[in-house]
């Protein structure tokens, strides 16, 4: 069975990665898809109360849950067999590669551009880093 980690962030490019893996599954490949949503660690400047920090962390968790719920719905409409989803916080590319290694996946699928506000003109910086760091093939969708 082929295991593919699909990085999702709510963007159209990430949705196309789910759809591309769905096409692979429909072409008679026996595969399991694992959805992963990584949020960057918040950068705190100044003095924040514990309550404020907890609120920010809770908001991130809710956003991840919403992204994963929508991606799960899309994956199911594509006929994908899903493994346990993954959530992480940190440097996004590093976390995607770490989870791919931990889950011993055969491939990573992701969009070329995500929800980040700043990116490169042709290929997003997260996608570039994943390509360079990954020991497994990376499928990019645009």
φ, ψ dihedrals at 95, nearest 5°: -70, -40
Contact by Cβ (8 Å): 87, 64: yes
Q: Where are the domains of the chain?
A: 2-141
User: What are 8's two structure tokens?
Assistant: 């999702």
φ, ψ dihedrals at 99, nearest 5°: -65, -40
Q: What pLDDT, on the 0 to 100 scale, is given for residue 63? A: 94
Mean pLDDT, 10 residues at a time, over the chain (142 residues)?
95 95 89 95 76 88 95 96 95 96 97 59 76 97 90
Give the CATH class of 2-141. Answer: alpha beta
Contact by Cβ (8 Å): 35, 94: no
Q: What's the pTM?
A: 0.88
φ, ψ dihedrals at 70, nearest 5°: -65, -40
């Amino acid at each position: 069975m082929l295991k593919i980690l699909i990085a999702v962030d709510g963007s159209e490019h990430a949705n196309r990665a789910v759809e591309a893996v769905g096409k692979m599954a429909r072409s008679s490949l026996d595969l399991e898809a694992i959805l992963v949503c990584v949020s960057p660690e918040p950068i705190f400047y100044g003095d924040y109360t514990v309550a404020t920090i907890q609120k920010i962390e809770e908001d991130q968790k809710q956003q991840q849950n919403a992204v994963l719920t929508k991606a799960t719905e899309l994956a199911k409409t594509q006929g994908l067999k899903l493994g346990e989803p993954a959530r992480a916080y940190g440097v996004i590319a590093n976390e995607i590669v770490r989870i791919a290694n931990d889950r011993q996946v055969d491939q990573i699928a992701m969009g070329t551009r995500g929800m980040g506000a700043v990116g490169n003109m042709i290929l997003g910086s997260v996608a570039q880093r994943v390509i360079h760091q990954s020991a497994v093939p990376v499928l990019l969708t645009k």
